[in-house]
Structure 1
Amino acid sequence: MINDLVTTGIVPALLPMYRDAFSLSYTQTGFIVLFSYITSSVMQPLFGAWTDRKPKVWMLPFGVFLSVLGLALTGIAPSYGWVLFLIALSGLGSGAFHPEASRGTHYASGNAKGLAQAIFQVGGNAGQALGPLMIPLFLISTGRSGLLWFVLIGLIAFLLAARQVPWYRERLEDHGRKQQQMTGKNHWWGVFLLVCVIILRSWCQIGVSAFLPFFFLHQMNMSYGHAELLNFLFLGAGALGTFIGGAISDKIGMKQLLVGSMLFSIPFALLLPYAKGGYAWLILLLFGFFVLSSFAVTVVYMQRLLPRNIAMASGLAIGFGVGAGGIGATLMGYLTDLYGIMSIMSVISVLPIVASVLAFLLPSDRKAV
C-alpha cells in the first residue's frame, strides 16, 4: 500500500501541482508519469529475471524505502529536471520491490493463488486510491514541500518489510528445490496476448487517474478537491474489484474472470465522456470496479503461463503494465495538447473493447502449463 501510494497513486494526482509549480505543458506533465512508470516497469521484469536465478531478499525493505524517498524529495526539487530524476529514482525502488514481494505472496498462498494475490494487490490498489485523496486532505494545505513528510512513511515501510525478511529467506530455502524440479513449459504466445490486455487496462487506469481531474476541472467547472474525490472513488472501487475478482477466479477460472472484467467495463467506459453530477459517481464506481477486478488475476495468470520464471512473470504482469501506463500518459498528454482533454475520454472509451477481444484469444488457464 505504501509503495503504490507514492508511485501509481499520488504521482498522477500531483500532476496539476507540478504543472503549476514549473509552468509545464500537458506533454511535460505526462513525462513525469512516464519517468515514474518506465523505471519501475522496465526494471521489474529485469529484476525478476535476475532474482529468479538468485533471490535478493534485501530488495523488500530497501526497494520500498527508495520508492518513497524519491517521491518525498520532489517536494524540494528546484527544477523540472530534478523532479524527473527523483521520480525515476522512486520508480527504480518500486521496480526492485515488486518481484520479490509478489514471489513472497506466491509462496505464502498455498492453493488459493487468486485470493492471496488479490490480498496483496488490494494493498497496492488501496495505495493508488489513497494517493488522490491525499491532495485535498493534506497537500493543498502544506503545499509541495509537505511531500517531505513521506520520508517518515518510508521508514515505517522499511521496518515493516524488514520484519518479513527472515520468514521469506526460510520460504526460499524450502521452495528452492521444488522450483528447480519444475517441468512446466513457458507459454510465450499466451504471455504476449496477456501483456497486450494488461497494457490496454493500464491505459484505462492511468487515463482516468491522471487526466480525469483535468477533464472535470476544465469541462465541468468542478473544484480540484471534488475532482480528486471522484478519482479516489474510481481507484477505491478498483481495489474492491481486485479483491472480489481474485477470490472468484479461484472458483470460475482466470480467463473467464478476465474476459468478464473487460466486457462488463465496456458500457461504463463508453458513458465516461458524458459523466455529470450524480451519474459521474455511479459511472466511475462501476467502471473502476469492473476494469480493475482482473488486476490480481493477471498476475497469477502470468505466473501460470511462465511457471519456470515466477519473479519475471510478476514483473511483467505488474511492472510492464505500470510502464505501459506511463507511455500511455505521455501519449495522452500529447493528444490533449493537440486536440483537447475530451479526446482522451474518447480514447479510454474504446480500450476495453479491444482488450475483451484479446482476452478471448488467451489459452485456458487450466491448460496453460
Structure 2
Amino acid sequence: MTKTTKTAMNVLFGVSFAHLLNDAMQSVVPAAFPIFQQNLNLSFTQVGWIAFTLNVTASILQPLIGYCTDRKPMPMLLPLGMVFTLLGMIGLAYAPSLGVLLLASALIGIGSSVLHPESSRVAHLAAGKGKGLAQSIFQVGGNFGQALAPVIIVVMIVPLGQSSFLWFTILAIIGIIVQSIIGRWYGKKVKEVAISKHSLPAEAPRQAFSKSFIGYVMLILILMLFSKFVYLASMTGYYSFYFMDKYELPLSRAQMCLFALQFAGMVGTFIGGPLADRFGRQKIIWFSILGTAPFSILLPYVEPIIAMILCVFIGLILMSGFSVIIVYAQELLPGHVGTVAGLFFGLSFGLAGLGSVFMGWLMDSYGVSIIIQLSAYLPLLGIFALLLPKDSVIMGSKLKEA
C-alpha cells in the first residue's frame, strides 16, 4: 500500500468515524422519545413533530449545501456542522418545553445537513475505483452510531435522566477535532484536482441521458427511499411503544430489539457496497427493499425473542441498499457528487420526518398497534425497483469510451 493510498484510507475511516459520532447523537433523539413524552406529557403527534423538525431541517438544507459545494467546495464546513450539533445537545439536556426540544432538534438537523453531503464528497475523493466500498465504509459509521443509540438510552439516559445529554457534548468536541483534520486533507485534495484538470487534456464528454429518463430513474429511487425511511421511522420512533404495550416489558427490552436492528444494519451497509460492486447496483437495490418484506410483515405477530431475530434480518437486508442507491444516482448524474448526496440524504431525513408526524397523528387517532402492523407492508414497494435500468445501461456510455 502506497503512502497516498494509506492516507486516503485513513481519511475514509476518519469521515466514517465522524459519521458515527453525528448519527449516534442524532439517533438518540428518537430513541429518547419515551423519556421526553413522560417528562413533558407529550402526545404522539407532538413526539412526531420533534422527529419532523430533526429530519426536515436536514432535508431542506442538504441538497442546497451539496449544490453549492459542487460549485465551490468548502472544507471548513465539516467542523462547523459539529458545532451546531454541540449546541443542540446542550439544548436537549435543559429543554423545559416542547418549543426548546424543537429548537435543539433543529440545530442537530442543521449539523447533520452539513456533514452528509461534504463527507460523502470526501469519501468519493478518497475512494479510488471502489466507489461502492467507499460509500459503504462512510455509511457504516453512521449505521454503527445509530446502533449505539438504543444502548446509550438504556445505559445512560434512562438511569441519569434528560440532563445526561450533556455527556454528548464530549462526542461533539471530538467530532469537531476529527472534522478539522479531515478538512485540511480535503482542502489540499481539492487544489490537486483543480491543478490536474488544468494540466491534463480534456476528456471526451460522457453522453448525457435525457431529462425524462433521469426523471424516471430518480422517481423510482425516491420511492425506494420512501419505503425504507418511513418504515425505519416507524421502527425507531414508535416500535418501542408497541413492544412495551404488546409484551408488557420495560423500555430497556424494547431498545434491545432496536439495537439488534441497527447493529445488523451496520453489517448490511458494510457488505452492500462491495456486493453491488461485484453483482450490480440494481440487483442490490431491489433486494434490499423487497427482501425485507417477509420479515417486516411477520414482526408484529411474534414473541419477543423471535422479534429480536427478525430485527436482525430486517436491519441486515434493509440497510444494505442506501449507499448503493447513492452511488447508482451519482453514476446517473456524473459531476454532481455533492448535489446527489445532499439530495438523497436530505430526502431520507425529510421522508422520515414527514412519516413520523403522519404516523404519530394516526397513532393518536387509531392506536399504535394497527399503524405498526400496516407500516410493515411498506417494503413491498421494493417491487418497483425491478423497473430500474440495469447497471450496463447507466454505465453504458462510460464503457463505450473505455
Structure 1 length as normaliser, TM-score?
Answer: 0.95
1:306 aligns with 2:333: yes
Superposed CA deviations along residues 258-311 of structure 1, whole A, max 9, x for unmatched, are: 111122211101101113132111111111111111121112112112212110
Aligned to 1:364: 390
Residues 237 and 85 from structure 1, CA distance in 2 versus in 1: closer, same or farther, beyond 3 angstroms?
same
In 2, the alpha carbon distance for the partners of 1:212 and 1:272 equals 11
Residues 271-310 of structure 1 aligned to structure 2 (within 5 Å): 271-310=298-337
1:24 aligns with 2:42: yes
Residues 194-209 of structure 1 aligned to structure 2 (within 5 Å): 194-209=221-236
In 2, the alpha carbon distance for the partners of 1:315 and 1:46 equals 7
1:157 aligns with 2:175: yes
In 1, the alpha carbon distance for the partners of 2:129 and 2:207 equals 17
Specify which of 24, 33, 36 is matched with residue 51 of structure 2. Answer: 33
Specify which of 112, 127, 148 is matched with residue 145 of structure 2. Answer: 127
Secondary structure at the aligned position of 2:276 is classed as: helix
Aligned length: 367
Aligned to 1:3: 22
Superposed CA deviations along residues 39-82 of structure 1, whole A, max 9, x for unmatched, are: 01111111111111111111111112312431332110221101
Instruction: Give 1:175 shift.
Output: 2.9
Q: Which runs of 5+ in 1 are unaligned?
A: none
Aligned to 1:43: 61
Superposed CA deviations along residues 203-226 of structure 1, whole A, max 9, x for unmatched, are: 111111111100111121111111
AA matched with 1:22: L
In 2, the alpha carbon distance for the partners of 1:178 and 1:299 equals 25
In 2, the alpha carbon distance for the partners of 1:254 and 1:175 equals 27
- Residue range with higher mean Cα deviation, 155-164 or 337-346: 337-346
In 2, the alpha carbon distance for the partners of 1:345 and 1:17 equals 20
In 1, the alpha carbon distance for the partners of 2:332 and 2:350 equals 20
Superposition RMSD on alpha carbons, in Å?
1.6
Secondary structure at the aligned position of 2:331 is classed as: helix
Kept after mapping to 1: 8 A contact 2:292/2:313: yes
Kept after mapping to 2: 8 A contact 1:202/1:324: yes
Secondary structure at the aligned position of 1:294 is classed as: helix
Structure 2 length as normaliser, TM-score?
Answer: 0.88
AA matched with 2:333: L
Kept after mapping to 2: 8 A contact 1:69/1:154: no
Residues 36 and 178 from structure 1, CA distance in 2 versus in 1: closer, same or farther, beyond 3 angstroms?
farther
Instruction: Give 1:178 shift.
Output: 5.0
- Residue range with higher mean Cα deviation, 39-48 or 356-365: 356-365
Identity %: 35
Secondary structure at the aligned position of 2:306 is classed as: helix
1:57 aligns with 2:97: no
Secondary structure at the aligned position of 1:78 is classed as: coil
Secondary structure at the aligned position of 2:389 is classed as: coil
**Whose radius of gyration is greater, 1 or 2?**
2
- Residue range with higher mean Cα deviation, 172-181 or 236-245: 172-181
In 1, the alpha carbon distance for the partners of 2:276 and 2:370 equals 34
In 1, the alpha carbon distance for the partners of 2:207 and 2:169 equals 43
Instruction: Give 1:83 shift.
Output: 0.8
Aligned to 1:257: 284
Kept after mapping to 1: 8 A contact 2:247/2:304: no
Superposed CA deviations along residues 165-201 of structure 1, whole A, max 9, x for unmatched, are: 1211122123346599664536332122211211210
Specify which of 247, 252, 256 is matched with residue 220 of structure 1. Answer: 247
1:117 aligns with 2:135: yes
Aligned to 2:365: 338
Specify which of 219, 241, 248 is matched with residue 275 of structure 2. Answer: 248
In 2, the alpha carbon distance for the partners of 1:184 and 1:106 equals 21
Residues 67 and 363 from structure 1, CA distance in 2 versus in 1: closer, same or farther, beyond 3 angstroms?
farther
Instruction: Give 1:92 shift.
Output: 0.8
Secondary structure at the aligned position of 2:128 is classed as: coil
Kept after mapping to 1: 8 A contact 2:140/2:267: yes
Secondary structure at the aligned position of 2:42 is classed as: coil
Instruction: Give 1:243 shift.
Output: 0.6
Kept after mapping to 2: 8 A contact 1:185/1:308: no
In 2, the alpha carbon distance for the partners of 1:112 and 1:147 equals 38
Kept after mapping to 2: 8 A contact 1:195/1:316: no
Kept after mapping to 2: 8 A contact 1:265/1:291: yes
1:235 aligns with 2:262: yes
Kept after mapping to 2: 8 A contact 1:246/1:297: yes
In 1, the alpha carbon distance for the partners of 2:68 and 2:392 equals 28
1:193 aligns with 2:197: no
Instruction: Give 1:11 shift.
Output: 1.2
In 1, the alpha carbon distance for the partners of 2:313 and 2:37 equals 30
